[in-house]
Structure 1
Amino acid sequence: MALCLNHAARAANEPKFNAHDLSITWEALQNDYQNKPQSLNAITITNNGKNVLPVSGWKMYFNSARLITEQTVTGNAMIKFVNGDLFSLTPTATFTEIRPGQSVRIEFIAEDPVITVTDGPEGFYIVWDNQPDKGYNTGAFTIKPFKPNYKGLITPAIIYDQNKNITNMPEQQLTKIFPTPVSYEETGGSFTIDKSILVGSGVIDDGVFNKEISLLKSSIQSVISDKLVVPESSKSKNLKAAQINFVKGYGAEGYSLKVTNYGIFISTSTPAGAFYGIQSLKILIPPAAFAHPQKEIQIPCVEVKDEPRFGYRAFMLDVGRNFQPKKEIFRVLDVLALYKINVFHFHLTEDEGWRLEIPSLPELTAVGAKRGHTLDSKHFLPASHGSGGELDNKTGTGFYTRADYIEILKYADKLHILVIPEIEAPGHARAAIKSMNARYDRLIAEGKKAKAEKYLLYAPNDKSEYSTAQYWTDNVIDVSLPSAYNFVETVIGDIVSMYKEAGVPLKTINFGGDEVPAHVWEKSPAYLAIKATHPEIKNTGDLWYYFYGRVNQLVKAKGLYLSGWEEMALRKTVLDGNPVYVPNPDFMPEHLQAEVWNNTLGGGNEDLAYKLANAGYKTVLTCVTNMYFDMAHYKSFDEPGYYWGAFSDIDKPFSFIPFDYFKNSKVDRDGLPLNRNIFIGKQRLTDYGKSNILGLQSAVWGENIKSTERLEYMLLPRVFGFAERAWSSDPAWATEKSEMKSDSLYEKDWVTFLNVLGKRELPRLSYYNGGYNYRIPKPGVTLQDGKYKANIQFPGLIIRYTTNGKDPDTKSNLYNDAVTIDKSTVKFRAFDTKGRGSSVSEPVTP
């Protein structure tokens, strides 16, 4: 009987209105609204169902990266900030019911202008007053086009002008291995890969290359339709060979590749060198071979000698904000390995999600890996970045089990990629804090007070008030608590155990350290207590060195070294009455690794990476201006991504000069000509400092990455520019002192690079590993003498157009020459070899 009553009660509480019947449209209406740096926006709620949405009895929640004014312009709703990027919308007395087929419009003010599609709200859901703990996602979400009225806005005509000097180079003139090797020579003739090739080792190597020989065989087999067969006689005069030979004297990742008309020969001293020789062979194979296996494939005879410029070539992926499935991680690792990137920095924890199972602390994933509607975060985390009010979502909810992570580690190790886990601390730690609060609540209810307090990360009576860059008010671990170090030690122990079981190396754990806001810990009872017993702690700033000093000891106890973002390596001081940060001398002897992102142009820290390297810190350049691939490609409403650090098309990583990035900085973060006076007085990199630059790191932060397709769109093809700079030696234009000569040399290399990508590497990625969703740039279009001319950034892509108002598709007219139209609407679109299209270029018709 009780079960029946409970079921009846639940049924009575279920809303009669289906939230999925509501569609939401967002449109930006006006920037600089009321002559302030803010925007007027509108959302339109449309009822597509059969029932009436009432005037009250519900709230709507949504996410926005922009703060929003509480009082709406239309007055029919109130919008209130909740926490992080979560807002509530409550109908007021003037809100009208929405009957089937009708709409209501709500206009509101956002405290920033709108530039890209990323600037708007997202993830709308409804919560009914009589069911306050459950969220119901709304239906379709639409964004209306908007043309921001700002300088630097990229138009089809500007794109045409940027592309005008990109010439179409014959493929025979292109280097057919990428990234560019140290030396490359085509010696004439070709070698035919077919089923009769004998794969093995040329000399006795004691099995050191067994894995690589197996990889070489499988790589060849993947592009050959017939099964490889061993020739009847290994002494046959027609024997074709593919060999890996051990030769002393090569660097850790160096190799040589020689292709003759009778064989393929890779010489190296290490398995890593053999692996990169195989990757170069795969790049040497024509891209069309990856579309489907063939009976035989012709590759040119070449002599190649190669080794990387930097031993540390990293890519960082944030899965804390939005989760990526294990299968996609494998795909990312595959493409990183193909282009010789050897470190995968796995950003596993954030305010919005903890993504790695820690068996000793199951709440971290039981609570911290789920997102849905909650205002107390006691059982899971709130909706963020558009994940919606329902727990069953693909981006907010998800984690890697211990077995998953071990599988990822083993997979990466086969690709000679080192996986570095990142556990964010003490900031960006809300998922961990709320998870440990849930653990505390459970154990307190069981009467286990001491056990409950063992891993607490947040003092219950801490009245400190702060707000982070992402507007969180409760996301910083209280480093005054002894339990914080129990937590760190336990997490380290479980991670070390995973690497040990996987049988792969773990050298460091990244413990974050970025963006801890002002006023944190100031009113913490734990801080006041530790201050009274530790005379070296005079203010909350001193807790920073206390925390990282202890974390460093915990890491060292496991035979590891500590790495983190630049803030970890800095000490706060005062200069002329103003707060400044300098390299922390206390941590110098500890050989910490600092990954420096902050070189924001005009922000004052343009030389921070060089300061740390000159001071002795092992430094990884992760410069936001050139290496953040979650940034929008350029200033255009239809390009997704943030732009607080820069707009970053593929030219940004390609033009990066690691040892003198002041020189390659030509535009500010808005894409406008840079005032180079900002570099006056800034530290240049010394020769000693150069010895401390470990390498380069690119990054994709996850706020805007809500699908595997979006991840690949943001990563590719920008990662090609990064791979070139991380692997290949400095080009001549990077060191040429004459600006005119440097620009001329750069333009030549730039055109060659774009031809290599457009004719070889992008076609390869259309089919490699099932094909990748790389970004296809929209065509440039200009009106000249009454005719529309179009061009493209990557030679090799094709352009199609329409004059009937419809978007071009694979059956539309092929663009070959200028298009003459009268009053029709003309639209242009680029396509790859697989038929995927770019955004549409629609020039303004006079």
Structure 2
Amino acid sequence: MKKLLASFAALCLLVSNQTIFAQTEPLISPRPLTLETARGTFQLNAATTIIAAKSLTTEADYLKDKLSAAARLNLKISSTSKAANHKIILALEQNLSATAGKEGYQLTVNATGVKITAAEKAGLFYGIQSLLQLITQQENGKNVTIPFVTIQDKPRFSWRALMLDEGRHFKGEKVVKQLLDDMAMLKMNVFHWHLTDDQGWRIEIKKYPELTKIGSKRKDSQLAWRSEKRSGKPHEGFYTQEQIKEVVRYATERHITVVPEIEMPGHATAAIAAYPWLGTTGEKVEVPVTFGKFKDTYNVADPKVYTFLEDVLTEVMALFPSKVIHIGGDKVLYDQWKSSPQIQALMVREGLKSPADVQIWFTNKISEFIASKGRRMMGWNEIMGGKVHENIDEKETTVKEKLNQGTIVHFWRGTTDMITNAASKGYDLVNSYHIYTYLDYDYKEIPVQKAYEFNPIPEGLDPKYNKHVLGSGCQMWSEFIPEVADMQKKIYPRLAAYAEVGWTDLSRKDYTYFKNTMKLIEAHWKAEGVDVAIVDYDAKTEETKQ
């Protein structure tokens, strides 16, 4: 934490150079909905007091710690403003809910001080992030000022996510917390945590210890797509339930919801390696050392498999307060189901016409269990059926079953008509179209400008269905990215572009303004010790420079 605070102090020293970019308004990322400036500045000093109700202690302490590092001022926190004339006020005002929603805020800086108001705590927290980016400071540290501004701001979308895949390569708690800090600065609010996959099971489940004893380890790792080259060393790692609780606590303080992803019915080889009876064939398998699509699937005709999955989800939901639980559902190969007498008998018994119908039938059962716990299921768009992948027979993906209505569909692949189709049927969606949002793709495929220009609402969608597009997510898949430094170069600087996609209103998007903010944001990241890719921001396609 001290390192992060110190890095923020370095950022604030650099923010004093904002005027060199010849902007007519101060630089804030993501760009606010409205920002009006006035002549003058408010000066922070030792007499400045943070005024906040005791119910806002977490937010007030966060601001105090950040200002202590940035401005070397140890400000007092008080629940009353009577004795303070030089103040920063944090206040909840319920009447703002109509205009600002749950995450919007108003920020005013004038001669009397600073005031941040919001209908809910999340809005106050985002107002604090904008305030911190407004601070200017001379290098001697004696003159800490904030320009006079009036900001009214709220996000375009309610779902602004970063996904981290640790099923393939485990990164650890320290890396996750740094990502959470950088998400918070950029007003991103969902950390989508991909914790299980064919190549690794990364979450402790106390009722099934073999999942981590066996499923969290593999003997080797493929180094490149369709390559015979291997790392030559084993890979392992998982989070204990206590570690999970700590990450969730840390995220919650930053108003970030952690959404766990527990893959089913495919991407299940690590679990089947731990408990072979979970698989459709019942055969013993090992945790794979290669990446790609695997045939191993849960035996969805076996009641014992549902007991297992419900047990796992029960422990998961006890750890994660998120109202949304992600069950994956992508890239299921149907080979084992097609040759399984049990699955074929299930299809006859339930009147299921295709393997995709089997998957929807299974998904609905899981959805109903999750709903019974007061949660909501989410899955990749294969859970609706339809020909998402070129190498799968269309007959296998033609469906008569209907996905449960309360499900959130996470679009990542296929035609954008699939989004229109789902939205028109009343399904809520998150748009993570891979050609715009996959962080494992290099900068030639997704340069920063392309990421910035992504619109989660597809062209041609009837405006009456816009409300069903909850937002977007960017995905850090990790198959061939074992090292943290390499992962960071994929994430940074594109993370800031995706933050603007989720937050900034289309009327306020300005790529020149964004590029200028990046000079400051990159300085902050580098002060943190992050490996930021060197990119040409104006390139339509480009290779990453090292």
TM class by smaller structure: 0.7 to 0.9
1:222 aligns to what SS in structure 2? helix
Partner of 1:650 in structure 2?
Answer: 448
1:757 aligns with 2:533: no
Partner of 2:333 in structure 1?
Answer: 517
Call closer, same or farther: CA 1:730–1:229 in 2, change over 3 Å. Answer: closer
Partner of 1:188 in structure 2?
Answer: 39
1:773 aligns with 2:479: no
1:476 aligns to what SS in structure 2? coil
Whichever of the two has the greater Rg, that structure is 1
Shift of 1:497: 2.1
Call closer, same or farther: CA 1:172–1:361 in 2, change over 3 Å. Answer: same
Shift of 1:701: 0.7
Contact 1:371 1:384 in 2 (8 A): no
- Give CA deviations for 1:380-400 in whole Å, capped at 9, x if unaligned: xx7676773433xxxx31111
**Pick aligned residue for 1:686 from 454, 462, 465:** 462
Call closer, same or farther: CA 1:535–1:622 in 2, change over 3 Å. Answer: closer
Supply the AA of the counterpart residue of 1:216.
Answer: L
Shift of 1:172: 4.2
1:173 aligns to what SS in structure 2? coil
Contact 2:202 2:238 in 1 (8 A): yes
**Pick aligned residue for 1:558 from 362, 366, 373:** 373
How far, CA to CA, are the matches of 2:259 and 2:467 in structure 1? 22
1:563 aligns to what SS in structure 2? strand
What does residue range 482-501 of structure 1 map to in structure 2 within 5 Å?
482-499=303-320
Partner of 1:628 in structure 2?
Answer: 438
- Give CA deviations for 1:280-303 in whole Å, capped at 9, x if unaligned: 1112124x78xx993442221111
1:345 aligns to what SS in structure 2? strand
Contact 1:178 1:339 in 2 (8 A): yes
What does residue range 421-432 of structure 1 map to in structure 2 within 5 Å?
421-432=260-271
1:245 aligns with 2:91: yes
Higher relative contact order (CA 8 A, sep 6+): 2
What does residue range 130-529 of structure 1 map to in structure 2 within 5 Å?
170-201=21-52, 207-228=54-75, 239-250=85-96, 251-286=101-136, 294-372=141-219, 388-391=231-234, 396-437=235-276, 456-460=278-282, 471-499=292-320, 505-529=321-345
Partner of 1:671 in structure 2?
Answer: none
Shift of 1:330: 0.2
Partner of 1:616 in structure 2?
Answer: 426
Supply the AA of the counterpart residue of 2:305.
Answer: A
Supply the AA of the counterpart residue of 2:485.
Answer: E
Contact 1:512 1:564 in 2 (8 A): yes
Contact 2:196 2:202 in 1 (8 A): yes
Shift of 1:552: 1.3
Contact 1:243 1:266 in 2 (8 A): yes
Shift of 1:584: 6.9
1:724 aligns with 2:500: yes
Call closer, same or farther: CA 1:578–1:319 in 2, change over 3 Å. Answer: closer
Shift of 1:582: 7.3
Q: Which moved more, 1:689-698 or 1:190-199?
A: 190-199
How far, CA to CA, are the matches of 1:626 and 1:611 in structure 2? 20
Call closer, same or farther: CA 1:404–1:649 in 2, change over 3 Å. Answer: same
Call closer, same or farther: CA 1:585–1:731 in 2, change over 3 Å. Answer: farther
Contact 1:459 1:481 in 2 (8 A): no
How far, CA to CA, are the matches of 1:263 and 1:307 in structure 2? 22
Supply the AA of the counterpart residue of 1:621.
Answer: N
Call closer, same or farther: CA 1:515–1:711 in 2, change over 3 Å. Answer: same
1:542 aligns with 2:357: yes
Shift of 1:538: 4.3
What is the RMSD computed on CA atoms of the aligned residues?
3.0
1:424 aligns to what SS in structure 2? coil
Shift of 1:229: 5.4
TM-score (norm 1): 0.56
Supply the AA of the counterpart residue of 2:128.
Answer: I
1:364 aligns to what SS in structure 2? helix
How far, CA to CA, are the matches of 1:308 and 1:583 in structure 2? 37
Contact 1:424 1:513 in 2 (8 A): yes
Shift of 1:267: 1.2
How far, CA to CA, are the matches of 2:505 and 2:301 in structure 1? 47
Call closer, same or farther: CA 1:171–1:401 in 2, change over 3 Å. Answer: farther
How far, CA to CA, are the matches of 2:156 and 2:28 in structure 1? 16
- Give CA deviations for 1:587-629 in whole Å, capped at 9, x if unaligned: 25x3100010115xxxxx2322222112211000101121111
Shift of 1:721: 1.3
Supply the AA of the counterpart residue of 2:103.
Answer: E
How far, CA to CA, are the matches of 1:229 and 1:308 in structure 2? 31
Shift of 1:235: 6.5
Supply the AA of the counterpart residue of 1:195.
Answer: A
Shift of 1:230: 7.7
- Give CA deviations for 1:8-57 in whole Å, capped at 9, x if unaligned: xxxxxxxxxxxxxxxxxxxxxxxxxxxxxxxxxxxxxxxxxxxxxxxxxx
2:71 aligns to what SS in structure 1? coil
1:839 aligns with 2:545: yes
- Give CA deviations for 1:254-295 in whole Å, capped at 9, x if unaligned: 111111133111011211111111111112124x78xx9934
Greater fraction strand: 1
How far, CA to CA, are the matches of 2:153 and 2:270 in structure 1? 44
Could you tell me which runs of 5 or more consecutive residues in structure 1 were left unpaired when the two chains were aligned. 1-167, 374-381, 438-452, 500-504, 600-604, 635-646, 662-683, 733-745, 779-791, 795-837, 841-846
How far, CA to CA, are the matches of 2:466 and 2:76 in structure 1? 50
2:162 aligns to what SS in structure 1? strand
Call closer, same or farther: CA 1:582–1:266 in 2, change over 3 Å. Answer: farther
Shift of 1:705: 2.0
Contact 2:416 2:458 in 1 (8 A): no
Supply the AA of the counterpart residue of 2:241.
Answer: R
How far, CA to CA, are the matches of 1:618 and 1:298 in structure 2? 44
Call closer, same or farther: CA 1:305–1:566 in 2, change over 3 Å. Answer: same
Supply the AA of the counterpart residue of 1:755.
Answer: N
How far, CA to CA, are the matches of 1:470 and 1:558 in structure 2? 34
Could you tell me which runs of 5 or more consecutive residues in structure 2 were left unpaired when the two chains were aligned. 1-18
Shift of 1:224: 2.4
- Give CA deviations for 1:221-253 in whole Å, capped at 9, x if unaligned: 12122433589x97779x421111222322211
Call closer, same or farther: CA 1:253–1:361 in 2, change over 3 Å. Answer: same
Contact 2:279 2:296 in 1 (8 A): no
How many residues end up aligned between the 2 structures?
508
TM-score (norm 2): 0.85
How far, CA to CA, are the matches of 1:508 and 1:334 in structure 2? 22
Partner of 2:3 in structure 1?
Answer: none
What does residue range 559-578 of structure 1 map to in structure 2 within 5 Å?
559-570=374-385
How far, CA to CA, are the matches of 1:422 and 1:578 in structure 2? 27
How far, CA to CA, are the matches of 1:612 and 1:230 in structure 2? 49
Contact 2:354 2:398 in 1 (8 A): no
Shift of 1:757: 1.3
